[in-house]
Chain A
Amino acid sequence: MSTASTVIKAKQRPGDRVFSGSAVFAGSMILVTLAAVAIFLIVQSLPALFATSEDASILPTNFWAYVGPLIFGTVWASALALLMALPVSIGIALFISHYAPRRLASVLGYIVDLLAAVPSVVFGLWGIGVLAPAVQPLYSWLVDNLGWFPLFAGPVSGTGRTILTAAIVLAVMVLPIMTAINREVFLQTPVLHEEAALALGATRWEMIRTAVLPFGRSGIISASVLGLGRALGETMAVAMVLSASGALTFELLTSVNPSTIAANIALSFPEAYGPNVNVLIATGLILFIVTFAVNAFARWIVSRRKEFSGAN
């Protein structure tokens, strides 16, 4: 592009200037916004980072003891959600891209996209009203019969509003974005690769395993990162569904569950004042950093695997 402009000296038309100007503006706005958010978070957080229970009544001892279980809960709930959503989203995407008849595939793709438009409050209501009561008998059974397994230790929650239920709701919420990306990636598999695999005698599953999945690996990781990002930051659905008590525990089926950062802010902010507000904003800063770290980690994985992705 730059060589063309230096060699030929194209005449600058107003349309070009306006367009390039607005593109630069849009590009820089995202940086400005991000910087503004980061500055706000840091400035507001500073008093809280070294606060103790004497400064802010919300703190048990110091800030890190307060935010620790929240970080754990956030990552734990999101990881569980991702664990459930990833295989399902790959399955749906493969079905749409390689198994379903074309007409069914387009309808199904549309429905999955529609799922993304459901507000999180609605998912929260569904989680409380439908999902939690429905899975509670299953949880009781798991605790009674598989209670020796640490994750399923009792006592079982009487309402089903556990971290596993919250993770299921989160999984449903991140499913559309992950499915959409996986589907697009799988559809881009070079037809030559697929036909070559089939010509060598591969079954359809073997063709997907040898041609489609390796090609789509970085896309699957990107999809997971986007899904994880949404799960980490999800607020309302978790706040409504989860029975959070701020404990640090891996148990999935009890009433005692770790809270997540976003849900905790939503629950505590309305009555917070003075230094407690700073503490809550500081937990927001931590969430910002966690999300940033997760994204960076995934980018690093994608870039490391790029040469082996088979995308050439």
Chain B
Amino acid sequence: MVVHLPFTDVAEARKARDLTSQASQHRLDPCNSNPEGNHVNLKRFGVPAVIAVTAALALSSCASNEGGATPEESPSSLSGNLVGAGASSQDAAQKAWTAGFQTANPDVTINYDPTGSGAGRETFLQGASDFAGSDRAFDDEEIAAGGFAKCAPDSSIVELPLYVSPIAVIFNLEGVDTLDLDPATLAGIFAGTITKWNDPAIAALNEGVELPDQAITPVHRSDDSGTTENFTDYLFAAAPEVWTWEADGVWPFEGGEAAQGTSGVVDAVTNGTGTIGYADASRAGDLGTVAVQVGDEFVPYSPEAAAAIVDASPFVEGRAEGDLAIELDRSPSEGGVYPIVLVSYLVACQEYAEPENVELVKAYLSYIASPEGQDVAAADAGSAPISDTLREKVVAAIDSIQ
């Protein structure tokens, strides 16, 4: 576990030292690549300018990415600049991974731009990023079309399900902390066919729970999101007779309450009465949560149960070795599996056209897949660490990158 030093102080002190001593120690740092320029500032504008420059550098994102390590003690020979783009769901986890990786490898700069899954795939396809983050794997047609600009011709791509996040179904109902629901009832609530909390369908599944005669207000995301895509995918797969819309990042019909972003949904559910919504499990807080029916039992969300679905699901057939795209089994037969999860992939080339960043990509992905990397993401982003079974396959896939 990496202990984060209060890095602003360290960075500030270091910047100040660099500026004043004019050591012109040239490091691979896009934030401070021109010490001579600073010299001019120092002379002309004096101390206030130095303070301002120091503060600006220390507060800038580049400085905060570097963590607390000092360059002199560099234990690693890795250096360079890695660019990634894609899913905003991975943003918090990517920040944690970037910080952790750059602390261990101070000469490396990693930039992850959370532009959204679609844009991330597009960027990767056009070769403007070294790796992509995406809430869904490339589909067969996209892979058949090929044209991944960063990859060697005829190279396949490596897709690694390294960010697994449980989606909790949250509700606000006075006196009720947890509810048992089967997929059909859950789909009925969100589709608007079940409109009262004391509906017989809900009551039958929750004997002994006092359900009020109150209207249900289902809350969904008003923005395009991977959370919605995975939630609707679950409803469509597990209760197709009630939920007739295919998986989509945009809520598929007019109806129900809409709120902006995860925090918007959580706020709406918290402030409303008789509300129910879905959000990253890490944000569920004190709200009541739903245990969904899997097989014969009701499973509340937990990191272990969420990670278990990835192991219980088969890989997509007909993919290249190293392409670990998963065909999520939303209604598994095994117990202890929580089926409403968001699985987000990291996508890289199996063989890069230019060899310069290969080592770096491999090292970064290995760090993300390591127990340490998964724990950092769990702590910072509330994701579910992947199992050792999956890790073996992921590590093998990373090793195949060249």
Contacts and interface: CB of A to CB of B under 8 A. Distances in A.
Contact of A239 (B119, B254, B260): B260
A128 B215 contact: no
Interface stretch (A19-27, A96-104, A263-271, A304-312): A263-271
Contacts, number: 99
A271 B217 contact: no
Nearest to B214: A158
Contacts of B385: none
Contacts of B273: 136, 158-159
A243 B257 contact: yes
B223 A157 contact: no
Contacts of B257: 157-159, 161, 243, 255
Contact of A247 (B88, B217, B254): B254
B237 interface: no
Contact of A270 (B88, B122, B264): B88
B249 A245 contact: no
A243 B119 contact: no
Interface in B228-260: 249-251, 254-260
Contact of B258 (A158, A160, A244, A271): A244
Interface string A146-168: 00000000011111110000000
B217 to A, nearest CB: 3
B223 A268 contact: yes
Interface in B102-123: 115-119, 122
B119 to A, nearest CB: 4
Contacts of A136: 272-273
Nearest to A236: B260
Given A58-B250, A256-B254, A159 B118 contact: no
A169 B116 CA distance: 30
Given A267-B223, A271-B88, A158 B119 contact: no
A285 interface: no
Given A128-B268, A270-B223, A271-B117, A157 B217 contact: yes
B278 to A, nearest CB: 15
Contact of B122 (A156, A157, A274): A274
Chain A interface extent, by class: 20 to 34
A272 B118 contact: yes
A155 B250 CA distance: 23
Contacts of B117: 271
Interface in B131-181: none
Given A245-B251, A273-B118, A161 B268 contact: yes
A270 B117 CA distance: 10
Chain B interface extent, by class: 20 to 34
B141 to A, nearest CB: 14
B260 A129 contact: no
B214 to A, nearest CB: 8
Most buried by A among B215, B260, B264, B273: B260
Contact of A128 (B122, B254, B271): B271
B373 interface: no
A239 B122 CA distance: 27
A157 B216 CA distance: 9
A282 interface: no
B225 interface: yes
A158 B217 contact: yes
A133 interface: yes
Contacts of B259: 161, 243
Given A267-B222, A271-B225, A272-B224, A158 B275 contact: yes
A158 B223 contact: no
B342 to A, nearest CB: 14
Contacts of A155: 195, 215
Contact of B271 (A133, A240, A245): A133
B339 interface: no
A157 B218 CA distance: 10
B219 interface: yes
Nearest to A154: B215
B274 interface: yes
Nearest to A276: B118
A106 B35 CA distance: 54
A245 B119 contact: no
Contact of A132 (B115, B224, B251, B271): B271
B267 interface: yes
A150 B156 CA distance: 59
Contact of A240 (B215, B216, B256, B260): B260
Interface of B: 88, 115-119, 122, 195, 215-217, 219, 222-225, 249-251, 254-260, 264, 267-268, 271-275
5 contacts: A158-B272, A159-B219, A161-B257, A161-B268, A270-B224
Given A244-B222, A268-B224, 20 more contacts: A129-B271, A155-B215, A157-B257, A159-B219, A159-B268, A160-B272, A240-B264, A242-B258, A243-B268, A245-B222, A247-B254, A255-B255, A256-B255, A268-B223, A270-B116, A270-B223, A271-B118, A272-B116, A273-B118, A274-B118
